[in-house]
Structure 1
Amino acid sequence: MNRVEHISLHPQARPGPVIGVYVHARDLATAESVAEQAWQRATALDPTLLEWRLVSAEVPLMRPDLDL
């Protein structure tokens, strides 16, 4: 169940670049861990990303079962 659904890049965001990682996970801690692992895999595959530093991995919980 824990997986990355989508990633969006916002290099011009202020105060610094933002990488949005949309994750399917059972809880917030797992979602944050999955997002951080995705970053680690990305930097291993593309060393140019090492110019950026992961400052935080914060993921708001969304309930896909709720119809808004």
Structure 2
Amino acid sequence: MLPDGIEGLVCASAQVADRLEHVVVHGRARPYPVLGLYLVAERAEEARSVAHEVCRRTLTGHAMHPEWEVVGAELPVTPSPDRWPEPDRPPA
């Protein structure tokens, strides 16, 4: 179980250069709770690395359970907004 307010702790652990936009918690996900970090990055590997580092800083910078660790950093692949399809337009 993740502590209450974990979103705020993650945000407080991020630096401006991390370009963190938003944090979402999936505390009941199995086999591990999941933190979703929405951030701006040029490449997938950069996003993965930054997310891992922000989570590591959160664990070391706040009083967390001593056995907790970051077990991975993954990301869904989504296109940048300039590659989103045009929305359907109503008939004229």
Q: What TM-score bracket applies, with the shorter chain setting the length?
A: 0.7 to 0.9
Higher Cα Rg: structure 1 or 2?
2
Task: Tell me which protein shows more strand as a share of its residues.
Answer: 1
- Listed one character per residue, the Cα deviations across residues 38-60 of structure 1 (whole Å, up to 9, x for unaligned) are 10121122121544321110122
Identity of aligned residues (%): 37
Structure 1 stretches of at least 4 aligned residues deviating more than 6 Å after TM superposition: none
Q: Which runs of 5+ in 1 are unaligned?
A: none
- Listed one character per residue, the Cα deviations across residues 9-68 of structure 1 (whole Å, up to 9, x for unaligned) are 112111211111111000000000110111012112212154432111012232222345
Q: Which has the higher contact order (CA 8 A, sep 6+)?
A: 1
Distance 1:23 1:17 in 2: 19
Give TM-score, length-normalised by structure 1.
0.78
Over the residues paired in the alignment, what is the CA RMSD in angstroms?
A: 2.0
Distance 1:60 1:42 in 2: 22
Q: Which runs of 5+ in 2 are unaligned?
A: 1-16, 86-92
Which of the numbers 74, 83, 86 marks the counterpart of 1:58?
Answer: 74
Distance 2:65 2:21 in 1: 20
